[in-house]
Structure 1
């Protein structure tokens, strides 16, 4: 199996309002997010790629236009957790690139959430 990954960055605020008021994530706060999309294929295409990295520029545009410097509670359906964002970005990518195999989202240098069917 061949696998490729590409990383994207954005900054945004969010608030997990469903948590108890004394939970730190219930307060309005922000993160410098990292999103990594992974694509996989059993065989390479005629150009020798799983997929040309250039094609993944559409995800950068989607993130820049809809997520960067936004309040995620206003952008996402459901809680704006890293787990829900991983699923959201996975579904968006899978609709465009059938080779999409996973999406990882980081809120801090020490924390990652991943959606991989």
Structure 2
């Protein structure tokens, strides 16, 4: 199995207001997010790629236009937890690139959430 990954970055605020008062994530706060998309294939295409990295530019454009320097509560209709965001970006990517196998989202350098069906 061949696997490739590409990393994307954005900064955004959010508030997990469904959490109890006093929980740090219930307060308005922000993160410098990292999104990593993984694609895999049993064989390579005619160019020797799982998928050309340049073909993933629509994800960068989508992140820049929809998520970067936004308030995620205004962008997403589900709580903007790392887990939900990983699934959200997975679904977006898989609809465009069937080789998508996983998406990871980091809110801090020490925390990661991953969705992999």
TM-score interval w.r.t. the shorter chain? Answer: over 0.9
Match of 1:26 in 2: 26
User: Does 2:56 correspond to 1:56?
Assistant: yes
Report the aligned-residue RMSD: 0.3
TM-score normalized by the length of structure 1 = 0.99
Structure 1: where are the runs of 5+ without partners?
Answer: none
Match of 1:40 in 2: 40
CA deviation digits over 1:1-54, x for unaligned, max 9?
Answer: 000000000000000000001100000000000000000000000000000000
User: Does 2:63 correspond to 1:98?
Assistant: no
2: CA distance, partners of 1:89 / 1:77: 14
1: CA distance, partners of 2:23 / 2:58: 36
How far the C-alpha of 1:78 sits from its partner, in A, is 1.0
How far the C-alpha of 1:92 sits from its partner, in A, is 0.3
Q: For this pair of structures, how many residues does the alignment match?
A: 117
Match of 1:109 in 2: 109
Structure 2: where are the runs of 5+ without partners?
Answer: none
